């Protein structure tokens, strides 16, 4: 995943050390695959794998919202080493095991028709990762990224808008907020996840997400495009859910400690902007200017790929 749009340092960055590029391409970490399991249920579209890596050969320090780099083996058609790929980390700094010695990724195998032959082309790195066997090593760089870091304020309102594997950093955020007992971060704010997926079997980490609903300060909304209809009778996409709840979302944005996080396919932010723009026009407010205010306040966080 490559970072786009907003990538400035958050206000909290000056209060904490942010690990950056501890491991580089010239000297990567040799991380060992501990787990590789399918996240898409029967009847779903494509394949998405949850991978857990042993990083104890490091250590590999990171914060929730950062990304890890993977160097796939082999060479391209020009004889050059394959390029580094970035993936959002899907676990907290303590890892799925809680001992700080693992890191998790959420990887969709990229596949698309060749524009000339029509044959299916598979992504180099995603196919490599999805096919990893337990015990195999990968070359890992990083961590990198500052745009998606959670604010230190434990009373903040966190709005998360995700499509597909864009759920990865939000899984880390939600574990940090609701699953771990962190003496340095006792979350007392509220969180709302709006998650866009094509079918019900494609709800990644569904059991975990729905379990978090036992917390009164967590709200979960799905936009299931091939099963649900929007107000106009078309497919329900994430921008339709934003438009549906835009009045409530706007009210939340009036709080000076509300943060919006957007992660997923590039272009998803356009529909979200359009929904807010249509609403704020009726208030006599230019959305582009207001969003710029949010960005300058380090409250509007985007990472699309």
Active site residues: 87-88, 263, 303, 305
265 is in an annotated binding site: yes
88 is in an annotated binding site: yes
How many Å apart are CA 37 and CA 131, to the nearest integer?
Answer: 10
Is the separation of the CB atoms in 128 and 72 below 8 Å? yes
165 is in an annotated binding site: yes
108 is in an annotated binding site: yes
Closest C-alpha to 264, from 88, 126, 128: 88
Q: Is 120 helix (H, G, I), strand (E, B) or coil?
A: strand
DSSP-derived secondary structure letter, 166: G
Closest C-alpha to 107, from 170, 68, 165: 165
29 is in an annotated binding site: no
Is the separation of the CB atoms in 45 and 199 below 8 Å? yes
H helices present in the chain, as ranges: 124-130, 168-174, 206-211, 238-244, 246-253, 268-281, 287-296
12 is in an annotated binding site: no
292 is in an annotated binding site: no
How many Å apart are CA 108 and CA 195, to the nearest integer?
Answer: 16
Residue position matching structure tokens 């009778």: 233
How many Å apart are CA 12 and CA 92, to the nearest integer?
Answer: 17
Burial class (CB in 10 A: 0-12, 13-18, 19+), 169: buried
For the annotated binding site, the residues are 88, 108, 165, 225-226, 264-265, 303
State the binding site for NADP(+). Answer: 88, 108, 165, 225-226, 264-265, 303
């Amino acid at each position: 995943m490559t970072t786009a749009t907003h990538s400035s340092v958050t206000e909290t960055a000056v209060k904490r050390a942010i690990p950056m590029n501890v491991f580089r391409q010239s000297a990567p970490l040799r991380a060992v695959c501990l787990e590789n399991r399918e996240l898409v249920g029967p009847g779903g579209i494509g394949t998405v794998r949850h991978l857990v890596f042993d990083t104890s050969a490091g250590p590999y320090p990171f914060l929730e919202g950062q990304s890890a780099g993977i160097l796939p083996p082999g060479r391209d058609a020009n004889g050059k080493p394959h390029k580094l790929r970035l993936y959002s980390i899907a676990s907290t700094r303590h890892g799925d095991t809680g001992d700080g010695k693992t890191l998790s990724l959420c990887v969709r195998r990229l596949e698309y028709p060749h524009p000339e032959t029509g044959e299916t082309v598979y992504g180099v790195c995603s196919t490599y990762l999805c096919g990893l066997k337990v015990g195999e090593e990968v070359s890992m760089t990083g961590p990198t990224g500052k745009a998606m870091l959670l604010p230190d304020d434990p009373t903040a309102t966190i709005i998360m808008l995700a499509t597909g594997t864009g759920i990865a950093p939000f899984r880390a955020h939600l574990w940090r907020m609701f699953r771990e007992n962190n003496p340095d971060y006792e979350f007392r704010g509220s969180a709302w996840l709006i998650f866009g997926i094509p079918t019900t079997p494609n709800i990644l980490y569904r059991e975990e997400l729905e379990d978090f609903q036992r917390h009164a300060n967590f709200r979960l909304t799905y936009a299931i495009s091939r099963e649900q209809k929007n107000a106009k009778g078309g497919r329900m996409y994430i921008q339709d859910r934003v438009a549906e709840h835009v009045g409530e979302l706007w009210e939340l944005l009036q709080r000076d400690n509300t943060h919006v996080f957007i992660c997923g396919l590039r272009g998803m932010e356009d529909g979200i902007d359009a929904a807010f723009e249509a609403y704020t026009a009726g208030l006599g407010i230019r959305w582009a200017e207001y969003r710029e205010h949010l960005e300058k306040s380090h409250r509007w966080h985007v990472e699309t790929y």
